[in-house]
Structure 1
Amino acid sequence: MISELRIGTRGSRLALIQTSMVVDAINSISEDFNISILEIKSEGDLKPNENVSQLGLGVFTSELEKAVLEHRVDLAVHSLKDLPTIETKGLKTIIALKRADPRDVLINKWSKPLLDIPDGARIGTSSPRREAQLKHGRPTLKYLPIRGNVETRVKKALGNDYDGVVLAAAGLERLGMINEVTEFFSTKVLTPAPGQGAIAIQFRAEDLEKFKALENLSDKSTVASVTAERSLSKAAGSGCMVPIGAYAEVNNDNLNLFATVTALDGSQSYRVEVTGSANDPEIAGKAAFFELLDQGAGQLIDSNNL
């Protein structure tokens, strides 16, 4: 029997591409759904001129979650890095598909790497994590807030008000804009947001049996990696606006997690690397958090209200 399946998504081209990827994946494992897509504006979309870091947690996800809970849609598709680490009551989250490139990238008008662009260059980013890490490495540049979808930010970066922008590689890759990139940052130079490059789907917890088959959309290594990263973030009590970076890689049953906490002004940075089991990734995340505390990162965690 064919069931109606309403999927909620933000309306940007990137969000719609990611949702289309999920739809194709669902159709590849089941012919039981007649799928429709509903575009929903997030708080971040409705307040395009405000600094994202000032809007609080769930700025790009809470309206979609609300639509699921109110039965206006059956599923919501998110960029995992935007999703708070504490599950919203009544919802269930599944990591869908294989993670895309997790790295951050630089686009600038000189087509030069970060270390070679001139002092005072105006680099756009609205991510406290990116800004903190960039200030730590290149304090002589000027970092400015920048809003808009990926295409808009790239256009702004090459215009009169900016000299460059730092973005996630995954979005550019999915939009077919990867050739715009000047530099791909190593995950140990500019450590990504927990879950960056991964896609999440949410549905009502009461529908768990109905959507059991969707667990087949998950990639085992991706799930282990992002679970470790988000476990660290959750242990710190943090959201996506906090300057924590984390990236985990899986090799067979082993998991290696690299993590950073950086002062907002870039003056201090703490870095740890832990190895654990891919079968219990949350332990690695918690271990990384406690190692950061042992190094003295607690002062930043407290001062940044992580």
Structure 2
Amino acid sequence: MTFPVRIGTRRSKLALTQSGMMQRAIGHALGVATADLTEAVPLVEIVTTGDRIQDRRLLEVGGKALFTKEIEEALLDGRVDIAVHSMKDVPADQPHGLCIAAVPPREDARDAFVSATYAAFDDLPMGARLGTASLRRQAQALALRPDLIVEMLRGNVDTRLQRAADGDFDAILLAVAGLNRLGFADRIGERLSLDQFLPAPGQGALALQTRIGDADAAWVAALNDPMTALAVAAERGAMTALEGSCRTAVGAHAEIAQGRLRLTTEMLALDGSARWRRSGEIGDVNAADAHDQARDLGLRLGAEVHGLAGDQRIKL
């Protein structure tokens, strides 16, 4: 293995925290001493378009690929060797020459309810103001509570938490995984039901992206968690079939128990007035073709939901 192994990362506190976790794990897998870590496996900070634009929904300026594009360009140009992404930010199709080489063990996939005043989602009063930039969370919240006033909330986790604390919103919705990783678990009022708030495909998981020629690097097997990768393959299959993007309200979550994988996926009308859902499973998660089976399951269930829901994209 040739050093340094450079990790491309966004500059947000959460991105640096997640990339630091992977930096230490990769260094350990490669036998790098702690004292040599920052030199042997350096973090290369890259500002993405998604980070620069904070006053509009991503769908208005190009979608969630804006969080990955500049880092992927650095990979292709050879300026970095690994990219660390939140899996839910990774578009369905990989750029030519790149691949997701490893998927580490997943954090909690649920959404978090955060409020300075109310303990749980069901405690919100009529007409409460709910902050989120996610069309999925907006639609799911409105499906349960059509009286809520949903307002856009962008910015890093610290900014969002501060706005909730300042009373700009009655409550906000965030990912449990990010709050856990940043040490903000105590700010979570309620971990929302996976049934009522089906997560975004890949939520809670990380994607370690490399050039295709580096996909068999020495650290890959040590960091990849086969069961997380399998669940994510199913969810991303559904996302592909549903054209999941920042213009649609799409959820997908796979759980593995007793050797079986069960996937649930859904699409919602953006105002929460309708939701279309399908579930299915594969029977042997240890089969040689389990990854293909999981993706095919996601594609099939996603296509069924899409057939029921039709075009639910927000019109620009």
Superposition TM-score tier, normalisation by shorter sequence? over 0.9
The aligned residue for residue 290 of structure 1 is 303
Residues 49, 147 of structure 1: 8 Å contact kept: yes
SS of the aligned residue for 2:66 comes to coil
Distance 2:147 2:24 in 1: 46
Q: CA deviation at 1:212?
A: 4.9
Task: Work out whether residues 164 and 171 of structure 2, in 8 Å CA contact, stay in contact via their aligned partners in 1.
Answer: yes
Aligned partner (choices 192, 195, 206) of residue 202 of structure 2: 195
CA distances 1:3-45 after superposition (whole Å, capped 9, x unpaired) = 2111110111111110111111112221378111111111111
1:149 counterpart = 2:162 = no
Equivalent-residue separation in structure 1 for 2:237 and 2:66 (angstroms): 20
| 1:173 lines up with 2:212 in the alignment | no
Greater shift in the superposed pair: 99-108 or 27-36: 27-36
Secondary structure, in 3 states, of the residue corresponding to 1:4?
coil
Say which SS state the counterpart of residue 23 (structure 1) adopts: helix
Find out whether 1:186 has 2:190 as its counterpart: no
Deviations 1:117-148 (A, max 9, x none): 11111111000111111111111111000111
Counterpart of 1:125 in structure 2 is 132
Q: Deviations over 1:161-216 (max 9, x none)?
A: 2121100000000011011111111111101000000011111123334x254133
What is the rounded CA distance, in whole Å, between the counterparts of 1:235 and 1:293 in structure 2? 7
Q: Aligned partners of 2:205 and 2:225: how far apart in 1?
A: 10
Distance in 2 (CA, whole Å) between partners of 1:143 and 1:68 is 37
Tell me the CA shift for residue 111 of structure 1. Answer: 2.8
Identity of aligned residues (%): 37
Aligned to 2:67, the other structure's residue is in SS state coil
Q: Deviations over 1:86-113 (max 9, x none)?
A: 1111111123321000000111122321
Per the alignment, in what secondary structure is the counterpart of residue 3 of structure 1? coil
Note the aligned Cα RMSD (angstroms): 1.8
CA–CA separation in structure 2 for the residues paired with 1:260 and 1:303: 12
Structure 1 unaligned spans of 5+: none
Q: Secondary structure, in 3 states, of the residue corresponding to 2:75?
A: helix
TM-score, scaled relative to structure 2: 0.90
Q: 1:203 is aligned with what amino acid?
A: T
Contact 2:7 2:83 in 1 (8 A): yes
Instruction: Give the length in aligned residue pairs.
Output: 301
Between the aligned partners of 2:251 and 2:79, the Cα distance in structure 1 is: 34
Bigger mean CA offset, 80-89 vs 47-56: 47-56
d(CA) in 2 for partners of 1:260 and 1:286? 12
Q: Distance in 1 between matches of 2:60 and 2:121?
A: 27
Match of 2:97 in 1: 90
8 Å Cα contact 1:120/1:140 also seen in 2? yes
Identify unmatched segments of 5+ residues in structure 2: none
Q: TM-score, length-normalised on structure 1? A: 0.93
